[in-house]
């Protein structure tokens, strides 16, 4: 098996990253046997996240012997009831042929910390930024499920650099053109401006390939 092939691998990912993964599949980079998605925005529901993740991994194992999990570590799963239970432990429990991309969260998969700092400097004068991916717009009602305006006012306005979407797909431009009122309503609800930073998927591709090679014993 070619070490850069995903043909014998099933991917299990947070649904928030489905726009990027579906794009990589359509453009021929990702030839994974199958992709299973969990519900977007489960980082605030750790018990449900773990339940869905383990269930999807179990289904993935029925289709292939190798499973690649596209989930961050440090920030995607925080179990306040059991702080020692981490994403790393959950993945280890799934067996030796299950690997996870080496990133802290979905934004980190698309742009490194240094890259995000450069973007923040360029687009927001180095001020504090609320980072998002296209999935945070597409699946807004999942990601911010249960949030009211008071909670939004408590969290977003402190990010004086506004919200920046790490956009490799031209998603924000299309969204603004097709649904301008909805886009403006989203920005108004957050209480900060939203803008896109055009990026490539090179980092995401390299992180996926790194784990494919690991699963192939390279």
Same domain? 28 vs 86: yes
Same domain? 127 vs 210: no
**In-domain check, residue 2:** no
The residue ranges of DSSP E strands in 27-144, in sequence order, are: 34-38, 66-70, 98-100, 130-132
Average pLDDT over every residue of 64-69: 96
Pick 73 or 120 by higher pLDDT: 120
Look at residue 198 in the predicted model and tell me its pLDDT: 98
pLDDT digits (tens, 9 = 90+) for 151-189: 999 999 999 999 999 999 999 999 999 999 999 999 999
**In-domain check, residue 4:** no
Average pLDDT over every residue of 122-136: 97
Same domain? 98 vs 15: yes
- In total, how many domains does the chain have? 2
**In-domain check, residue 3:** no
Same domain? 166 vs 87: no
Dihedrals phi, psi of 38, to nearest 5 degrees: -90, 165
Q: Which two tokens stand for residue 9?
A: 């691998």
**In-domain check, residue 1:** no
With cut-offs at 50, 70 and 90, classify the pLDDT of residue 207.
Answer: very high
Look at residue 2 in the predicted model and tell me its pLDDT: 58
pTM to 2 decimal places? 0.94
- In angstroms, the CA 167 to CA 41 distance is 18
CATH number, domain containing residue 83: 3.40.50
- In angstroms, the CA 106 to CA 16 distance is 8
- In angstroms, the CA 77 to CA 105 distance is 9
- Structural domain including 61 reads 9-107+201-215
Query: Out of 77-86, 129-138, 162-171, 189-198, which region has the weakest mean confidence (pLDDT)?
Result: 77-86
Q: Cα dihedral angle (118, 119, 124, 125), rounded to 10 degrees? A: 20
**In-domain check, residue 28:** yes
**In-domain check, residue 123:** yes
Same domain? 120 vs 210: no
Look at residue 75 in the predicted model and tell me its pLDDT: 84
pLDDT digits (tens, 9 = 90+) for 4-50: 789 999 999 999 999 999 999 999 999 999 999 999 999 888 899 99
C-beta separation of 192 from 130 below 8 A: yes
**In-domain check, residue 166:** yes
Look at residue 99 in the predicted model and tell me its pLDDT: 97
Binning the chain into helix, strand and coil, the percentages to the nearest 5 are 50, 15, 35
Provide the 10 A C-beta neighbour count for residue 57.
Answer: 20
**In-domain check, residue 46:** yes
Same domain? 132 vs 179: yes
Same domain? 163 vs 208: no
Same domain? 29 vs 61: yes
Q: Flag whether pLDDT at 55 surpasses 70.
A: yes
Same domain? 43 vs 145: no
Q: Which two tokens stand for residue 218?
A: 């390279």
C-alpha distances (whole Å) from 171 to each of 1, 96, 197 are 34, 36, 11
Same domain? 148 vs 208: no
Average pLDDT over every residue of 73-88: 87
Q: What is the mean pLDDT of the chain?
A: 95
Same domain? 141 vs 98: no
Look at residue 218 in the predicted model and tell me its pLDDT: 56
Same domain? 13 vs 96: yes
**What percent of the chain is predicted at pLDDT more than 70?**
98
Average pLDDT over every residue of 110-139: 97
């Amino acid at each position: 098996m070619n070490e850069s092939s995903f043909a014998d691998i099933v991917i299990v990912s947070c649904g928030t990253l489905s726009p990027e993964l579906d794009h990589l599949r359509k453009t021929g980079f990702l030839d994974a046997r199958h992709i299973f998605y969990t519900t977007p925005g489960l980082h605030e529901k750790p018990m449900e996240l773990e339940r869905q993740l383990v269930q999807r991994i179990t289904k993935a194992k029925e289709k292939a012997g190798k499973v690649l999990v596209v989930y961050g570590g440090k920030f995607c799963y925080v179990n306040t009831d059991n702080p020692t239970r981490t994403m790393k432990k959950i993945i280890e429990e799934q067996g030796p042929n299950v690997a996870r991309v080496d990133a802290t969260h979905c934004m980190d998969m698309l742009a490194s910390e240094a890259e995000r700092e450069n973007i923040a400097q360029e687009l927001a004068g180095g001020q504090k930024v609320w980072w998002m991916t296209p999935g945070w717009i597409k699946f807004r009602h999942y990601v911010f499920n249960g949030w009211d305006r008071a909670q939004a006012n408590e969290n977003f306005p402190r990010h004086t650099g506004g919200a920046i979407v790490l956009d490799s797909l031209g998603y924000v431009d299309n969204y603004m053109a097709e649904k301008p009122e909805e886009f403006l309503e989203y920005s108004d609800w957050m209480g900060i401006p939203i803008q896109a930073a055009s990026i490539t998927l090179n980092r995401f591709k390299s992180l996926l390939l790194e784990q494919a090679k690991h699963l192939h014993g390279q």
